[in-house]
Amino acid sequence: MGSFCSVGTRCEVSAGQTLFRRAEIGQCMFIIDSGQIRLDFAGHMQSKTLGEREFFGELALFMGHHARMADAVAVTDCELWSVDQPGFDILLQSQPDRMVQFMRRSFAYLVSGEQQLLLGLQRRNEDLLRAMDSLRKTRGELHRAEDQVRTDDMTSLSNRRGLYAYLEDLTPAPGDQQLGLLLIDLDRFKQINDQCGHMVGDEVLCAVARLVRKAARKGDLACRLGGDEFALLCHVRSSGELCERANGILEEVRKLEFADFGQPQLLASVSIGGGLCNYVDGWSVWYSDVDRALYSVKAIGGDGWHVAGLTDAET
C-alpha cells in the first residue's frame, strides 16, 4: 500500500458514482484506501465488491490501454489511490522483487478466473483472444522479471534471491543421491584489485563464475553469494565425489590465464570448503559448517580444498 501511495494520486468518489465503464480503455489501476467499490461484469461473471486495501484495474498497467471488463461503481463514499503507467514503471525499477510478488498475485487471480471468462464471454471471442495473448506476454514478462531479480548482473549466476527460491523448492533426492555444498572463495582478491585494477578483478570473478557454472550439473545450483564468494549446491553420491568436484574447480582455476588483459603473470587461486547437507538442518547450518571448512583452508594460505566429515577411506 505504501509503495503504491508513494507514486499514486489520491482521489475521492461519492456513493453511486461510476468510476469507469466496461469496454472503456483503461489508463491506470486503483487501490481502495477507504469505502467499497462494486465491479459489475454485466452477466459474464458474478459481481464483486472490493473494500479497503484491495485493488482493481491492474490489467491497464500490465497490457497497456486495456479495455475494462466491468463497470466500477462506488457502493459508499470512497477514497482511492490511482496509479498510472509511469508510476508503476518507477516501482518496477526501484522495487522489482515486491512488484514481481504483486504481479504474481494478480496473475494467479486472472488465471483462476480464466475458465469462467471462456464460458461467459463466448460472444466476445475476438476480444478474449486478444486478452489471452496479452496474458501470455505478461507471463513472459513476469518470468523475465523474476529471472532478473534472481540473477547476479556481473556473472549471470544465481544471486541470494535465486538461492532462496531454489531452497524453497528443494526436496530430498531419490536413490543414493545426497546434497553437497561447496563454498568457493577467491584468494587475495583485494590484492588483485589493488595491483591490477578493478576491470581485471571483475574478469577474474567472471572467469571463476564460468568454472563454477561448468561444474554444476542438472538439478544443481551455481550461485554468487556476494563479493568474491561463490556457492555450488550439487547432488553427489558420497563425500568422495564432492571432493572430486572441489578438486576439479581448484585445478581449473589454477589454469586460468589473463594475458589478454595485460596480466600474463597473474595467477588466480581459490579456497574451497565443502560438506554434505542434512535436509532437516537447513541453509544456515549447512553454510556455517562448510564455512568452517573453507576457513581452515584460508588459514594455511588458501589454494586448496577441504571437505568436512571425510572418512579415512575418502581421505
pLDDT tens across 216-240, in order? 999 999 999 999 999 999 999 999 9
> Do 207 and 301 sit in the same domain of this protein?
yes
Q: What value does the mean pLDDT take over residues 93-105?
A: 88
Write down the mean pLDDT value for the chain.
Answer: 87
Q: Which three cell numbers stand for residue 126?
A: 475476438
Q: In sequence order, which ranges of the chain are alpha helices (DSSP H)?
A: 2-7, 59, 85-94, 96-112, 114-120, 125-149, 160-169, 189-196, 198-215, 239-254, 283-298
**pTM score:** 0.55
The answer to whether residue 312 is domain-embedded is no
Taking 60 as the threshold, does the pLDDT of residue 120 lie above it?
Answer: no
Query: Is 313 domain-assigned?
Result: no
Predicted local confidence at residue 310, as pLDDT: 72
Q: Is residue 314 domain-resident? A: no
- Assess whether pLDDT exceeds 80 at residue 145: no
Residues 8 and 69 in one domain: yes
Say if residue 84 is in the same domain as residue 14: yes
C-alpha closest to that of 266 among 209, 212, 189, 214: 189
Tell me what pLDDT residue 155 has. 93
Residue 33 host element (H or E): strand 28-34
The number of distinct structural domains making up the chain is: 2
Tell me which residue has cell 457502493.
75
Q: What is the CA radius of gyration of the chain?
A: 27
* 187 and 141 in a common domain: no
Instruction: State residue 285's pLDDT score.
Output: 94
The pLDDT of 47-68, averaged and rounded, is 87
pLDDT at 280: 87
**CATH number of the CATH domain containing 89:** 2.60.120.10
- 229 and 101 together in one domain: no
Q: Are residues 142 and 8 in the same domain?
A: yes
Range of the structural domain that residue 43 is part of: 2-149
> Alpha carbon 137 to chain centroid distance?
18
Dihedral pair phi/psi, residue 174, rounded to 5°: -75, 165
From residue 60, how far is each of 52, 65, 66, 135, 303 by CA, in Å? 21, 6, 5, 12, 55
Q: What is the pLDDT of residues 168-206, one digit of tens each?
A: 988 887 778 899 999 999 999 999 999 999 999 999 999
